[in-house]
A and B are shown apart, each in its own frame.
Chain A
Amino acid sequence: MNFSILGVFLGNKCNLECDHCIPRSSISEKGKLSSEEIAKIIEAVEKYKIPMISFTGGEPLLFYRNEIDKIISSLKGELPKIRITTNGTFLKQSNWKDYIPRNVTEIRLSYDTFHMSNLHTSDLMKLLEFCRLSGLGFYIEYILTNPTEMKVITEFPVELRNHIKFDLALRCGRAKDKNKYYNPKHFSIERLRGKCPSIAEGYLLYYQGRGFAICCNNLSETEFVPKESKYFETTSELLQSELYQFLSGISEFSDLALKFDRLEGADSMKCNFCETLLKRRLNNSNEKINA
């Protein structure tokens, strides 16, 4: 099995509560990776020679530095690439450079109109310059609730514009709760040609307190697939699970969609579509996806 990235959800503690946050992170969350969980993560990286670890949360740099350091320092041999996703508020500290763990190779900054009130473009420029001088990759992930909001790009300094990666808020997590997801008027037929990006790109996830999983978006939060069917103690159990086998077997979403009549605009969004199709499949056939 070739995994391209291990995404590690370190926990859900975050100093911000963004409207589009998929894991619904907040300051009151408490869980952290146990020693056993850290050992499982290290074992998976070494067993499958995974070339990249992507740490996310929660806010990794404010609340999970020890866990990141333990994982990186315990890895043997050539280190994989290390990406960290952050909301950037560590930049407000005078010793902000000390918050960036050694051996990190890429920083992804979550930024949007909500974050703008906490972090100004001068802070982003500071981080960009640091990354440039240190040879680190850097990009800004900017979540939109409507594509027309892309024109915000002209408000950024020219040097930052090429580092912005736009994405649209999915009907998931807090965006779903607050009705702040992107909701196209009509279903886009283009979506039928897609397939699960996690499977296609070889992603593996580890969720603090839950286990290994294959989906980082809707299925992680939805209740119609029970926890025991989507989180696993070991990678072997995950690969043998019915959910993994089922998602791997879909060459295009059209394989599933042809069986159903009405699809809504929001179903055009990549992970929303998968969720809708799986839900209908279960309802129609009374099948249960069990481990």
Chain B
Amino acid sequence: MFNRVLITVLVAAGMANEAEAKDIVRSTSIQEQVSILENLMNFGELYATNSKTGNQVKIKTIGEIERLGEELDCKNAEDVKIEFKVASAGSNPLII
């Protein structure tokens, strides 16, 4: 689940495409992955949804990720849909 979240966030934040995001997961330690995800979570909002019932929770900390299935009452991890909404105003990394 953690890897899925990290890949989703990397792609949504525009930092990598899916293949590159998978490369990042393969080539980094758990500690590095946690630091990257913690950093990116500052620039948007992370949501998890039970795709069958529509129940949604906002993920505020990395510790919540492994408990998502339980929290959303999903028997299969695949039923958890992850979304990262990048904050728009002021977050756009243009040079101004």
Question: Which residues of A approach B to under 8 Å, CB–CB?
Answer: 4-5, 7, 22, 54, 56, 85, 141, 147-148, 150-151, 153-154, 161-162, 164-168, 184-186, 188, 190, 197-198, 200-201, 203, 205, 216-217, 268, 270-271
Q: Roughly how many angstroms separate A85 CA and B94 CA in the complex, as a whole number?
A: 12
Residues facing A in B65-96 (CB within 8 A) are: 88-89, 91-96
> Quick one: closest B residue to A168, CB to CB?
B15
B89/A165 in contact, CB under 8 A: no
**Which among A4, A154, A185 has the greatest number of chain B C-beta atoms within 10 A?**
A154
Please tell me which one of the listed residues A161, A166, A197, A205 contacts residue B92 in the complex, with CB atoms under 8 A apart.
A197
**Residues from chain B with Cβ under 8 Å of A188 in the complex:** 17
A153/B95 in contact, CB under 8 A: no
> Quick one: closest B residue to A271, CB to CB?
B94
**How many B residues face the partner with a CB closer than 8 A?**
31
B16/A147 in contact, CB under 8 A: yes
Sample 30 A-B pairs with CB under 8 A, ordered by A number. Answer: A56-B96, A147-B10, A147-B15, A148-B23, A148-B24, A150-B24, A150-B39, A151-B27, A153-B39, A154-B31, A161-B39, A162-B39, A165-B43, A165-B93, A166-B15, A166-B39, A166-B40, A167-B93, A185-B19, A186-B17, A190-B14, A197-B92, A197-B94, A201-B88, A201-B89, A203-B96, A205-B96, A216-B94, A216-B95, A217-B95
B11/A161 in contact, CB under 8 A: no
Q: Roughly how many angstroms separate A190 CA and B95 CA in the complex, as a whole number?
A: 22
Q: In the complex, how many residue pairs between chain A and chain B have their CB atoms under 8 Å apart?
A: 84
Q: Roughly how many angstroms separate A16 CA and B93 CA in the complex, as a whole number?
A: 21
Contact with A along B19-57 (1 / 0, CB 8 A): 111011001110110011011101100000000000000
In the complex, what's the smallest C-beta–C-beta distance from B96 to chain A, in angstroms? 3
**Residues from chain A with Cβ under 8 Å of B94 in the complex:** 197-198, 203, 216-217, 271
B95/A56 in contact, CB under 8 A: yes
B96/A161 in contact, CB under 8 A: no
In the complex, what's the smallest C-beta–C-beta distance from B44 to chain A, in angstroms? 12
B88/A161 in contact, CB under 8 A: no
Q: Roughly how many angstroms separate A124 CA and B29 CA in the complex, as a whole number?
A: 25
Please tell me which one of the listed residues A153, A168, A186, A198 contacts residue B36 in the complex, with CB atoms under 8 A apart.
A153
- Give the top 6 A-B pairs by smallest Cβ distance, nearest first: A7-B96, A167-B93, A147-B16, A151-B32, A54-B96, A153-B35
